[in-house]
């Protein structure tokens, strides 16, 4: 269960684009249900927004597959999303407006549900085997990484006086 698994591969993975295109339709439809149920965004608005998000994702995947240099798919998708919504990009205002009809937390809900279903026997075993010591260390790893980033960012922002 690894959402960054693609990033781990050093060489370009051979993405099956048709397979991804179909699976993404299903995932986006599931996301659309969440978007309508939770944040109560009108279905028609959410639908157009989701089509925009789908297209951004697919362009990102096309680039992952065919760009002259390799970047992980999440990086390409993110870059396409950024480029499509930069103030200087023609039509960006419309894209931004549509994307606003998609709630980011509603998109995360199905991803985490899949993650819950994906827990493997081995992961349960590792968690049990590692015991409370590693669990405690892990909590401090997360706290330390988060707090360290907050402190450095805070310091620089204050120095900048921004």
Which parts of 47-106 interact with another protein (CB under 8 A)?
A: 50, 52-54, 56-57, 60-61, 72-75, 77-87, 89, 92, 95-96, 99, 102, 104-106
To another protein, the closest distance from the beta carbon of 160 in angstroms equals 7
Q: Binding to another protein (CB under 8 A): which residues in 112-151?
A: 112-121, 123-124, 126-127, 130, 133-151
To another protein, the closest distance from the beta carbon of 137 in angstroms equals 5
Residue whose CB is less far from another protein, 44 or 159: 159
To another protein, the closest distance from the beta carbon of 60 in angstroms equals 7
Q: Count other C-beta atoms under 10 Å from residue 3's C-beta.
A: 11
> How far is it, in rounded angstroms, from Cα 63 to Cα 69?
9
What is the CB-side half-sphere exposure of residue 47 using CA atoms within 13 A? Answer: 3
> How far is it, in rounded angstroms, from Cα 44 to Cα 101?
9
Residue whose CB is less far from another protein, 48 or 81: 81
Q: Check: CB of residue 24 under 8 Å from CB of residue 68.
A: no
Residue whose CB is less far from another protein, 5 or 44: 5
Residue whose CB is less far from another protein, 47 or 102: 102
Q: Check: CB of residue 96 under 8 Å from CB of residue 53.
A: no
> How far is it, in rounded angstroms, from Cα 12 to Cα 59?
16
Total number of residues that touch another protein (CB under 8 A): 106
To another protein, the closest distance from the beta carbon of 44 in angstroms equals 18
> How far is it, in rounded angstroms, from Cα 77 to Cα 79?
5
Closest by CA to 3, choosing from 70, 59, 77, is 77
To another protein, the closest distance from the beta carbon of 75 in angstroms equals 5
């Amino acid at each position: 269960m690894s959402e960054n698994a693609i990033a781990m591969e050093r060489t370009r993975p051979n993405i099956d684009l048709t397979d991804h295109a179909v699976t993404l339709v299903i995932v986006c439809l599931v996301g659309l249900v969440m978007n309508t149920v939770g944040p109560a965004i009108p279905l028609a608005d959410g639908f157009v927004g989701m089509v925009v998000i789908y297209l951004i994702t697919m362009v990102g995947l096309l680039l992952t597959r065919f760009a002259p240099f390799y970047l992980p798919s999440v990086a390409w998708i993110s870059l396409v999303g950024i480029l499509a919504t930069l103030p200087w990009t023609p039509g960006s205002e419309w894209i931004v407006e549509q994307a606003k009809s998609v709630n980011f937390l509603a998109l995360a809900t199905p991803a985490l549900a899949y993650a819950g279903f994906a827990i493997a026997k081995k992961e349960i075993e590792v968690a049990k085997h590692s015991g409370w010591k590693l669990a405690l260390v892990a909590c401090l790893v997360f706290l330390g990484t988060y707090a360290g980033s907050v402190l450095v960012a805070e310091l620089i922002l204050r120095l900048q006086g921004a």
